[in-house]
């Protein structure tokens, strides 16, 4: 690992060190060092004093308008685990490669102290695509510039240099729940991780709206715990089986959880779809290969990634006349073998 060193041979102080000494966030340090009017004189003076004390020097790559282009775009994610991201990243990368740019994937684990936030604050790349839900809207708005555009997934931030791209998660979940209801299901459980992100809140909202529209609001069964992983879907389904009184159908917040659920049902001799129908969300590659093949909601993963990359390059080139501040992409219900008709 290469370490930057100062005149005395020791490691150079970072913006994170300055933030810690001054008792402020990394983004606040960045704004103070760039003379932003957002920062009070008292706070700026405290930050500058901390920077002098640490002999902090701004990285040449990190300086805002004066820096050279890095020909790199950052994709900021909370977690790259799971197959959902592969197709989306391929969409971004295909466009980036055609523009002779690199794609850097960076984790936001750690929130304000993460490497992802540091990249935003110090402008170490030419622009960013933000999927991470734990980077605050304030940091995103503070970081965006004409020469540092940001594409934001599944959230909206009103800013001249931020573009939001959402998938219609609520409508997708609504269509999935409606499909179950139209096939005679009246007891439909919704199995999800803890809905901390807007994306999963919208999916839950679609499920709830469908049941209300058909007068089934008193039949809602919400099971929310832990993460959105296959392993958690497996364990939550086992708990549902242990409770008895199985619903006639289960909607899962994503395909990974649904595939874990299929395994749990199989272990306990519960037949899908004869005993319980199952629906997922995302249409990952594995969904069509499990048995029974999974009915799910497809979202345009590759197209979403490619759109994000095209937009960020348009903004970098100054061609913003056709760039909209907000895009919503449609979903599609994919019918396979995991849903059976039930006589009410």
List domains and CATH numbers for the chain. 1-58 (1.10.260.40), 72-167+301-329 (3.40.50.2300), 169-299 (3.40.50.2300)
- DSSP one-letter code for 288: G
- The closest of 114, 113, 106, 148 to 131, measured between CA atoms, is 106
DSSP state letter for 220: -
Distance CA 16, CA 20 (A): 6
Q: Which residue, among 159, 154, 93, has the nearest Cα to 310 in the 3D structure?
A: 93
Predicted pLDDT of residue 203: 94
Separation between Cα atoms, residue 183 and residue 344, nearest integer Å: 9
Residue 163 in 3-state DSSP?
Answer: strand
Chain-centroid distance of CA 83 in Å reads 13
User: Tell me, what's the pLDDT at 82?
Assistant: 65
Is the omega angle on the peptide bond into residue 292 within 30 degrees of 0, that is, cis? yes
pLDDT of the residue at 300: 93
Instruction: Say what the pLDDT of residue 61 is.
Output: 41
What is the chain's length? 344
Q: What is the pLDDT of residue 1?
A: 29
Q: H helices within the chain, ranges in order?
A: 15-22, 26-33, 41-53, 84-98, 115-122, 137-143, 169-182, 198-213, 230-243, 255-267, 301-316
In sequence order, the 6+-apart residues with CB closer than 8 A to the CB of 226 are 193, 194, 232, 235, 236
User: Residue 195: what pLDDT?
Assistant: 64
Name 166's bridge partners: 328
Phi and psi angles of residue 107, each rounded to the nearest 5 degrees, phi first: -85, 145
How far is the C-alpha of 33 from the C-alpha of 271, rounded, in Å?
A: 62
Cα separation, 183 vs 187, in Å, equals: 12
| CA angle at 201 for the pair 276 and 331, rounded to the nearest 5° | 70
Query: What is the side-by-side order of every strand in the sheet holding 150-153?
Result: 102-107, 72-77, 127-130, 150-153, 162-167, 326-329
pLDDT by residue, tens only, the chain of 344 residues: 233 334 444 455 777 788 889 998 877 887 777 666 778 888 988 988 888 888 776 554 444 444 568 899 999 988 766 677 788 999 999 999 999 999 998 888 877 778 788 888 888 899 999 998 888 888 899 899 999 999 999 888 889 999 999 999 999 999 999 999 999 999 999 999 876 677 888 999 999 999 999 999 999 998 888 888 999 999 999 999 999 889 999 999 999 999 999 999 999 999 999 999 999 999 999 999 999 999 999 999 999 999 999 999 999 999 888 899 999 999 999 999 999 999 86
The 3-state DSSP class for residue 12 equals coil
Residues 6 or more apart whose CB falls under 8 angstroms from that of 14 comprise 56, 118
Q: What is the pLDDT of residue 245?
A: 87
Q: Which two tokens stand for residue 165?
A: 């791209």
The CA distance from 231 to 238, in Å, is 11
**Angle made by CA atoms 20, 31, 13, in degrees to the nearest 5:** 40
The neighbouring-strand residues paired with 192 are 224
- pLDDT score of 28: 80
Cα 43 to Cα 28, 46, 49, 113, 232, distances in angstroms: 9, 5, 10, 19, 45
């Amino acid at each position: 690992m290469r370490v930057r060193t100062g005149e005395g041979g020791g490691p150079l102080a970072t913006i994170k060190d300055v933030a810690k000494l001054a008792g402020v966030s990394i983004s606040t340090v960045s704004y103070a060092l760039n003379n932003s009017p957002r920062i009070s004189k008292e706070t700026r003076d405290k930050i500058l004093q901390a920077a002098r004390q640490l002999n902090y020097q701004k990285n040449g790559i990190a300086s805002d308008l004066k820096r050279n282009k890095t020909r790199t775009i950052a994709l900021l994610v909370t977690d790259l685990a799971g197959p959902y991201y592969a197709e989306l990243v391929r969409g971004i990368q295909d466009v980036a490669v055609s523009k002779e740019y690199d794609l850097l994937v960076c984790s936001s684990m750690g929130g304000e102290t993460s490497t992802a936030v540091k990249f935003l604050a110090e402008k170490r790349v030419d622009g960013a695509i933000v999927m991470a839900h734990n980077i605050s809207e304030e940091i995103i708005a503070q970081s965006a510039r004409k020469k540092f555009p940001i594409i934001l997934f599944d959230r909206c931030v009103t800013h001249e240099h931020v573009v939001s791209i959402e998938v219609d998660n609520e409508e997708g979940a609504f269509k999935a729940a409606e499909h179950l209801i139209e096939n005679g299901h009246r007891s439909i459980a919704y199995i999800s991780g803890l809905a901390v992100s807007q994306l999963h809140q919208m999916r839950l909202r679609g499920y709830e709206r469908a049941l209300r529209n058909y007068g089934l609001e008193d039949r809602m069964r919400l099971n929310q715990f832990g993460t959105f992983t296959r392993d958690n879907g497996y364990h939550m389904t086992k708990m549902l089986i242990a409770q008895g009184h199985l619903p006639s159908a289960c909607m899962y917040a994503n395909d990974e959880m649904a595939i874990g659920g299929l395994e749990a049902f199989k272990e306990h001799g519960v037949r899908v779809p004869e005993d319980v129908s199952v629906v997922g969300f995302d249409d990952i590659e594995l969904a069509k290969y499990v048995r029974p093949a999974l009915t799910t909601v497809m979202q345009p993963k590759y197209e979403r990634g490619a759109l994000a990359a095209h937009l960020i390059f348009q903004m970098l080139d100054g061609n913003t006349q056709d760039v909209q501040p907000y895009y919503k992409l449609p979903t599609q219900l994919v019918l396979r073998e995991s849903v059976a008709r039930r006589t009410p």
